[in-house]
Structure 1
Amino acid sequence: MSIVTELILNADSEARYPAPKELRIFQDFLKSGEQRIRIASTLAQNEDRIVQNASARFWERCPVTPSNSGNPRKTASCQRDQGWYVRLVAYCILAGSEQPLAEIGTIGIKEMYNSLEIPLRNLVEAMRCVKEESISLLSAEDAVEVAPYFDYIIRALS
């Protein structure tokens, strides 16, 4: 859900017009539109690069892991998941909200990876690497917008 939808639904649930503070939030959201589109485009255009470089960085830090076991299927699955999180972060940037991560990306995440016998500490480190690679492609100002979304994923895995 975008921040705009959230503001409207909150006001509507209370049968009122958006308050001045909410209108300012909406105004700021509109002003940041170009930045949000630029960030999401950068992430989308570089997803493969981000995942490949983040995987290499992760394997340097954690050489003994299922994604680096020599099993191409496990490697592909792990990298697919990393790309999926890059895409979810891009959705969050566009929406101006953590809602896509909360609704799509983190419900049952620990249980799923535990059932697959994937060490959560490895996933946390892998997401740190994905965050670092993503941020390296952005300006300092844009990186500040992206970092909290990756931190949200990391907290959900911890």
Structure 2
Amino acid sequence: MMNAIQWPQGYLPGQTDNFASNEVIVSGLNSQQVWSFLTTATVWPTYYKNSSDVQLPEGVEELQLGTVFFFKTFGFPVDAEVVELVAPTATQVGRIAWHGWAGEGDSRLDVHHAWLIEDLSEYRVRILTQETQNGAPAIELANTKPNPMINGHQEWLDGLVAIAKQHAK
């Protein structure tokens, strides 16, 4: 049985204004080879064109539990806080999630963006990213076709896999 995202209250898929789920299973990589490219947020723009202006607290190079940071994505300036972080090991699934928010009042967007990185048999890795969103901007995104969240997160996954493979050689 594969592992699942752990959802905080108020962010359970199906009970939010928008939900996106993307997953890849790739051979020739393991969770440790992928992990640092996800937790080192300042490298996101090098492999995911939909992220920019990543700002971490002074002296922080990798995301840690409780890290508050900033980045831009999907046209939104997002403040975020890491609310879950478990590094992958030979026996432990890697998990990272952040609560992100942008805007105020009627234009406020709140998200829970979670990642799961899981080693599978035969030297394969599963990378799952899911995001739930609440607020008027989330309703607009949910009704946009093609779905910008699904397409954007697939680009993020593809870029993450590509950079991990490039450095695994």
Q: TM-score range by the shorter chain?
A: 0.3 to 0.5
TM-score (norm 2): 0.32
TM-score (norm 1): 0.34
- Give 1 or 2: higher strand fraction: 2
